[in-house]
Amino acid sequence: MSKSDAHGRAGLAAFARPDYARSSRKGVPEVILAATKTTEQCMAISEAFLERTSRAILSRVPPALEAALHERWGAGELIWYPVSRMAVVRHDSTAVPTGGGVVGIISAGTSDQPRCEEAAIICQEMGCTLHTVYDVGVAGLHRLFQPLEVLLNEAKVDVIIVAAGMDGALPSVVSGLVDVPVIGLPTSVGYGMGGEGLAALYSMLQTCAPGLAVVNIDNGIGAGAMAGLIANRCAEARRGAAEEAHARGS
């Protein structure tokens, strides 16, 4: 180890102790929340993850950090998601596991897309297959039925994330129609009283539709992590059943 490497790690320990083994231990990768850190801190943590795991995932990236990431890694290793302002830096494609789960993501409106994309990126980085449907909220409920049929009968999703702001009604509607777990993702989209996501959160928490679990307001990362765990566990069960059937057949 060079003196500069040792100094860099010592400096990192002053403000961060990254959980490099989280993905292998938990099945969910560590995500660097950039909005509340300095550019220098985020770059140092990213470098450490790349050295140890060949992958760094950053969320809520401010413009100054975006510029630094592009300058440091460019188009070759940096994947930039402008809608959600997330970034993934990857040295090695094998840094993404093969989970096999299948996740559906539905948004009530186009304004919910940033949080949906956060969830989708986490599921993708957990090795899941994604199917997204945007802007099918209760203001025009007829838009929901055909995409929902595709998710259930063609894509055969293991779990569905449903994001909604305003009155937050869509997750309850979906949960009342499907036989897979639904994760409600309230978003801070709306007007006036309760418009910062509180109305949507309360509505989802008070649902009478069984099978709906709810994450916090704008917590796309949390919704993606939970959906990925559920979907990958379903995929593991499918593989086990297939191996058992093959063994019986042989």
Q: What pTM, to 2 d.p., does this model score?
A: 0.90
How many CA atoms does the CB half-sphere of 180 hold within 13 Å?
Answer: 23
What was the pLDDT predicted at 4?
40
3-state class (DSSP) for residue 89: strand
Chain position carrying tokens 């997204």? 132
What was the pLDDT predicted at 94?
67
List the structure tokens of 204. Answer: 């989802």
What was the pLDDT predicted at 10?
54
Q: How far, CA to CA in Å, does 29 sit from each of 19, 58, 73, 151?
A: 9, 11, 20, 26
What was the pLDDT predicted at 6?
44
Pairing relationship of beta strands 55-59 and 86-90 according to DSSP bridges? antiparallel
What was the pLDDT predicted at 240?
87
Determine contact, residues 240/219, Cβ cutoff 8 Å: no
Domain ranges of the chain: 3-95, 102-235
How high is the mean pLDDT in each 10-residue block of the chain (250 residues)?
45 83 90 96 95 94 97 90 96 77 96 97 96 94 94 97 96 96 97 92 96 97 97 93 78
**Structural class in CATH, domain 102-235:** alpha beta
